């Protein structure tokens, strides 16, 4: 009878050892996943920053070609048309707001963000904008969205009502028509 108890103890010890190995493996996978997610977030932000730089360079390029100030059509044109057909850049510019510009000059994704903020009627955080627009609320996606919202703030299409709270500026509050 002693040998059966010894065998069960041996199996129990082996099962504990295996469980500990699995726990260590899970911990390593969690660390690896966190590192990869952080890397992914940095890469997405870097891509968006490069796109913004190219966006600004495209507007500067159009202004230089036009002999000074670029008109609304040149500022709102995709960078591919600014740099010639078939350009691999594919960046679309967000022109600075001017009284003669309508929201329709913005790229579609930016128009959608403007409509969401106008429809809600009060300041929203980037996460709330993502939820209201039906977009992913994944951290890296929200950071990309925040970058777009900040770009709209920089160009005068939105304002920040407190840190990270985006809303329409007074000059657009009554002008933006929202389609239900």
Write the pLDDT tens digit of every residue in 93-140: 788 888 888 888 888 888 889 999 988 888 999 999 999 999 989 988
Structure confidence at residue 175 (pLDDT): 67
Structure confidence at residue 35 (pLDDT): 87
Structure confidence at residue 73 (pLDDT): 41
Structure confidence at residue 89 (pLDDT): 52
Structure confidence at residue 65 (pLDDT): 57
Q: Report helix, strand or coil for 145.
A: helix
Structure confidence at residue 63 (pLDDT): 58
Neighbouring-strand partners of residue 160 = 166
159's enclosing H/E stretch is strand 159-160
- Secondary structure, 3-state, 83-131: CCCCCCCCCECCCCCCCCCCHHHCCHHHHHHHHHHHHHCCCECHHHHHH
Enumerate residue ranges in the chain where pLDDT < 70.
1, 57-92, 174-180
176 contacts 118 by C-beta, under 8 angstroms: yes
Structure confidence at residue 158 (pLDDT): 93
* Predicted TM-score of the model (pTM): 0.50
160's enclosing H/E stretch is strand 159-160
80 contacts 87 by C-beta, under 8 angstroms: yes
């Amino acid at each position: 009878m002693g040998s059966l108890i010894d065998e069960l103890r041996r199996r129990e010890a082996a099962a504990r050892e295996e469980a500990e190995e699995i726990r260590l493996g899970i911990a390593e996978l969690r660390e690896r996943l966190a590192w990869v997610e952080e890397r992914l977030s940095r890469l997405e932000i870097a891509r968006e920053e490069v796109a913004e730089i190219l966006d600004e360079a495209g507007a500067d390029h159009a202004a230089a070609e036009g002999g000074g100030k670029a008109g609304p059509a040149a500022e709102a044109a995709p960078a591919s048309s600014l740099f010639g057909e078939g350009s691999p850049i594919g960046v679309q510019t967000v022109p600075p707001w001017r009284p003669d510009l309508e929201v329709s000059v913005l790229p579609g994704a930016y128009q959608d963000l403007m409509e969401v903020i106008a429809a809600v009627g009060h300041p929203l955080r980037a996460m709330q904008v993502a939820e209201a627009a039906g977009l992913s609320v994944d951290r890296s996606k929200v950071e990309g969205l925040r970058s777009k919202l900040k770009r709209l703030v920089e160009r005068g299409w939105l304002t920040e009502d407190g840190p990270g709270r985006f809303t329409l500026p007074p000059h657009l509050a009554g002008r933006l028509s929202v389609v239900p």
